[in-house]
Amino acid sequence: MKKVFGVFGDPIEHSLSPAMHNAAFSALGMDCVYHAFRVKPEKLENAILGAETMGFGGLNLTVPLKEAALKLDCVKPDPLAAGIGAVNTIVFRDGEILGYNTDGLGARQALLETAVEIEGSKVLIAGAGGAARAIAFQLATDGADIIIANRTEERAVELAGDISAAKLPGKVRGTGLLELRTLIRDADILINTTTLGMHPRTDASIAEAEDLHPDLAVFDIVYNPLETKLLRDAKAAGAKTVSGVLMLVYQGAEAFRLWTGAKPPVELMKKTVLEALKV
């Protein structure tokens, strides 16, 4: 009987995780299948417990469920997920429901693959949601100095305080968007964790084209469209660009490893996502 895996979210129709993971299972000859399920936050605990009861192999969680999962009594987070404050991967093992967060590791690997230096870099993160938490926590662990800029300044300040309390090597502070243009000029790495630029609002961006510069690395975690307005403007400015596809693939690859113990076929997963985005 096939082992079932899945991703929970709301909305979920846009997810490329089923294509990516099903390609990986097929390539490795595993009798497994991965589906997307629309789950509302108030039904999350029932959905996770139902998946466990039905013998699912594991789950991914996406917006808006990552932070909600950490509050559930049935989920036991590992120290990294607890520190980040969000869970994006669920593993069912030995009668326990274990929660992990692979987003930060995915972002880290995406930057490293693009030859972006993290340690000692000045990183500006736009947004203060679940993805921002994971990325900021990971990059602060790796020794980057981080500024989190968010429309609601209080949320950015609160997130910075949470990360600073962990006493990681990198410094972190939060601010609003009023000084964004100045912050971009002083940054080494700009990371967009908001939904600005995501399909169908493809003409939106967190930054003005004239504020981007050649010494900047620009990372947009939005992957649909494949090249966002932010990345197009960054490329035109001579900046290094990092696609959100890489984070999607590497966070998924780490989840695959946690579920199965097998080495994930990363290049195939990347190829599958890119082909899906070109349809």
Our answer to whether residue 66 is catalytic in this structure is yes
User: Using an 8 Å Cβ cutoff, are 47 and 6 in contact?
Assistant: no
Rounded alpha-carbon distances, angstroms, from residue 232 to 145, 197, 203: 26, 11, 11
Catalytic residue among 2, 66, 263, 271: 66
Distance CA(59)–CA(62), nearest Å, equals: 10
Which amino acid, one-letter code, is at 162? D
Amino acid at 112: L
CA nearest neighbour of 14 among 263, 248, 242, 266: 248
Q: Give the alpha-carbon dihedral of 62, 68, 69, 70, to 10 degrees.
A: 120
Please tell me the distance from the alpha carbon of residue 193 to that of residue 195, in angstroms, as a whole number.
7
Which pair of tokens denotes residue 52? 């466990």
The catalytic site residues sit at 66
